[in-house]
Amino acid sequence: MSLTGDQMELREEDIRKHYSAAEALLEGFDHAPRLARAAVPAPVQREERSPGIGGTRRRFRSTTVGLTTRRTEAASGVHLLARLAACDDDDPLTSPRQAAVARALRRALSIAMALGESFSEATALTELKRANLDNVLPRDRAGAFSELLAAESLLQLHVLANALSYLLSSHLGEVTVDPGDAEEILTDNAPLALQGALWELDQKLAAFAIGDEEKLVPVISAWCQLVMEKVRLRAEGHPHLGAFTGATWRIEADDLTVRGFTPASHAKSSTLVMSFKKPHEVVGNHIAKYQAMKLAKMLMAYDFDRRMNPFAELGGFIFTFMGDGMPGTGKTTLIQMMAGLLNDYCQVAGYPFRYRNLSTENIDSYQGKSGQNAKAFISEIMDPAVIGFGTVDDIDQIAGKRGDRQSSAGQQEITAVLMESFAGANTVVRGNCTFGMFSNYPENVDDALRQRAGARFLVDGPRTREDYVDILALLLGKRHDIPLGDHELYAAQEIKRAVAESFASHARPSEAGLVTVYDAVQQRLGPLDTIAKLGSYLKAIQEADPRFTGRAIKNITDAVKVRAMDFELPDEWMEEPELFLFRDYDTKRAMIEELRQPITVEMVVQEINRYADSEFRYADKSDEAAIEGMVRDMGRTEEAKRRYLKGRG
C-alpha cells in the first residue's frame, strides 16, 4: 500500500493474488443458509465438451477448509458460474454479458479480499487469527477477536457489493428488477460472510434471471444496493472499523475509489433533456434568481482534489433551499435557469455535472422501495466526484407529513430519508451539490422537513408593471409587428438594483402576525441595533409561533453569512477556468475571502424578517387549510345525520 494524500492505493498485485480464491468461490462451494430460506434448488451442472472428448463434468470443491458453522438447513451447493450459464436458455456459448458479469464478480471478490487483508494487517486481527490458529488466544482477547472478525466481514461484504455494482454500472439498461430483500448477512468471519452473500445472489439469479439474460445485470445491481444498505446500518457505531472508514482506497485500474460505506459511482454527467432558460427569461423573482445565480457559481468553486468547497468552509454555502409560490410564478423556469448555468459552467471547466429530480414516480407501493429510491437520489447527487443539483418538485405531494393519515407509507419513507440526509448526524456538506425543494403549498410540507431548508426563495413571479410588460414581450417572441412602446425591455430585471430593492423591502415584515410582534418589540426596546435586542425579537417570534425553534435561528444565521458573501464571482472566472476554477484550494479560498463583506445589523434584521415572514405565511395557510377541513368534516357529519334521521322517519 502507498499513501497519496488522504488516499491509500490498493496495489494491483495485492488484488490479483486473490484471483484463484475468488475463482474457486465462483466455481462452487457448500453453504447452509442461516438467516434466509432457500427458495430454489442448486443448478444442474452442464457438461463441458471439447472436440473428440467425451462429456466431462466440472468438479466443485469447497474453499473453506476447517470452517465449522451451525447449520439450520442442509448445505446446498452454490455454483455461480453454472447459474450464470443458465440465464440464456442453455446456449452452449458464453455471451459477452455473462463473461462481463463473471469477470466483475471475480474482480469484486478479489478487491474485497485484498481490503480485508489490509484491514487485518492494520489492526490486531492478523495477530489474533494466528494466536487462534495456534490455540493460544488469550481469553481476555476473545471479545475483541470476535468484534474484529465481524468488522472484517462487514467491510468485505460492502466492498464486494460496492465494487460489483460499480463494475457493472455500464452494462445497466432500462430493465429494472425488484429482488426483494437481502437477508443472509453473516458476520462470524469474512469467508462465511462472502459465502452467505454469494449463496443469496445465486438464489436471486435463479428466481429472476433464469432464461432471461436481460435481467441478469439488473438483478445483481439491485441486490448490491440492498446489501450495501443493510451492511451500512449494521456498521453504524461498530467500534473497530476506523482503519477502514478513516482512509480512502484507490483502485487505479478500475478508476474506483472506496470511501468507507459510501457507494461508489462513475464520475459521469447526466444527459440533460431540458429547455434551459437564460437569467433575463426569469421575470420577477429577483432574490430567488439572484441567489440561484450565485449558488451556481458557488458550486463551481468546489475543489475535486481537496473534496471541499471554500464557501462551505467559510460559511455562506446553500446546501438546501426551498422555493415556494403560487402556481405559474416561475418555479420550473428557475430550475431550468440554474440547471442551464451549471451545465454550461461544467462544460467549460470539463467537470462532470449531474442533475436529478425526485418525482411522484419514485413513490412505490412496495414497502421500503420508496425509501430506497430516495436514498439512490441523494447518493447520486452527493457523489463527491461530480457537481450535483437535485430537485424535489411539488415536495408537498412527494414527502408526507408525519401524523397525516392521508400520507402513504411511501411518502413517509421519503420524508424520513430527506430529513436524515439534509440535516442528519452523518450529513457531510462538501459544497459540491445542492438540493432545491419546490412547492405551491409549502404549508403542507412537514414542519421539520421544511425547516431543513437552509434558504428560502419566495418565487412570486412578476410583480410590477415593468415585469408584466417584460414577460408579455418575452412570451410573444419576435414574430409580430406590435411596437414595444414607452418601455426599456428587461431594464427592470437588472439584477443588482432589483435585489437591493427586494432586500430593502424586508426591513419591516409583511405578514400581519409578524408585523404585530415586530412593532411590539420595537416599541419596547427601540431600534433593533444590538445582538441582545435582536435575540429578544427572535424570542418574541418564538412565543408567537412555537415552531420557530433553534433550527430557524441557524437557518437565519446561515442566510446572513450568505449575505456576507453578497457578491457574484466574476463571469470571466467561469469563462476562463485558469483564472479561478483550476487554482489550488488555498488560492481559491484566499480569492473568495478578499471579496467577503462585513455583516451588518440591517442584514440580520432583513434575514430574520424574510425567514419569519415565510414561516408565518406557511402557518397561516396551514391553519386555514386545517380549519376548512374541519368545517367540511362537520358539514358532512351534519348532512349524514340529517339523511339518517330522514331515512328512519
- Residue 42 to residue 453: CA distance in whole angstroms: 51
In a domain, 316, yes or no: yes
In a domain, 265, yes or no: no
The 3 state secondary structure assigned to 563-631 is HHCCCCCCHHHHHCHHHCCCCCHHHHHHHHHHHCCCCCHHHHHHHHHHHHHHHHHHHHHHHHHHHHHHH
In a domain, 252, yes or no: yes
Q: Note whether 197 and 324 are same-domain residues.
A: no
* Lowest-pLDDT choice from 341-350, 415-424, 471-480, 607-616: 471-480
C-alpha cell at 383: 457523489
Scored b (16 or more CB within 10 A) or e, 273-309 reads eeeebebebbbbbbbbbbbbbbbbbbbbbbbeebbbb
612: pLDDT strictly greater than 80: yes
pLDDT, tens only, 144-188: 999 999 999 999 999 999 999 999 887 877 777 888 888 999 999
What percentage of the chain exceeds 70 in pLDDT? 84
**pLDDT tier for residue 285 given thresholds of 50, 70 and 90:** low
**pLDDT tier for residue 555 given thresholds of 50, 70 and 90:** confident
Q: Note whether 95 and 39 are same-domain residues.
A: yes
Q: Note whether 316 and 435 are same-domain residues.
A: yes
The whole-number pLDDT of residue 275 equals 62
Residue with cell 467561469: 574
CATH number of the CATH domain containing 307:
3.40.50.300
- Residue 317 to residue 299: CA distance in whole angstroms: 8
Residue 357: give the domain boundaries.
279-627
In a domain, 304, yes or no: yes
What percentage of the chain exceeds 90 in pLDDT? 23
The whole-number pLDDT of residue 74 equals 52
- Residue 126 to residue 148: CA distance in whole angstroms: 10
Q: Note whether 246 and 296 are same-domain residues.
A: no
- Residue 340 to residue 345: CA distance in whole angstroms: 9
Q: Note whether 381 and 506 are same-domain residues.
A: yes
92: pLDDT strictly greater than 50: yes
In a domain, 504, yes or no: yes
Q: Note whether 504 and 362 are same-domain residues.
A: yes
Q: How many CA atoms lie within 13 A of 299 on its CB side?
A: 34
In a domain, 52, yes or no: no
- Residue 497 to residue 154: CA distance in whole angstroms: 57
The whole-number pLDDT of residue 598 equals 84
Q: Average pLDDT of 28-32?
A: 91
Cβ-Cβ contacts under 8 Å for 28 (sequence gap 6 or more): 60, 61, 62, 77, 78, 79, 82
- Residue 572 to residue 577: CA distance in whole angstroms: 8
In a domain, 496, yes or no: yes
Q: Average pLDDT of 215-242?
A: 89
Q: Average pLDDT of 113-138?
A: 91
Q: Note whether 530 and 417 are same-domain residues.
A: yes
The whole-number pLDDT of residue 556 equals 86
Q: Note whether 311 and 209 are same-domain residues.
A: no
The whole-number pLDDT of residue 621 equals 56
End-to-end CA distance of the chain: 90
Q: Average pLDDT of 372-377?
A: 85
In a domain, 486, yes or no: yes
The whole-number pLDDT of residue 50 equals 41
Q: How many domains does the chain have?
A: 2
Q: Note whether 38 and 186 are same-domain residues.
A: yes
The whole-number pLDDT of residue 315 equals 78
pTM of the model: 0.56
Residue type for position 618: Y
Neighbours of 400 (CB within 10 A): 26
Scored b (16 or more CB within 10 A) or e, 495-508 reads beebbeebbeebee
User: Which candidate, 529, 506, 516, 534, places its Cα nearest to that of 606?
Assistant: 506
Q: Note whether 91 and 232 are same-domain residues.
A: yes
pLDDT, tens only, 382-421: 888 889 999 998 888 888 887 777 788 888 889 988 988 8
51: pLDDT strictly greater than 50: no
Q: Note whether 352 and 416 are same-domain residues.
A: yes
**Cβ pair 440, 307 in contact under 8 A:** no
Q: Note whether 253 and 368 are same-domain residues.
A: no
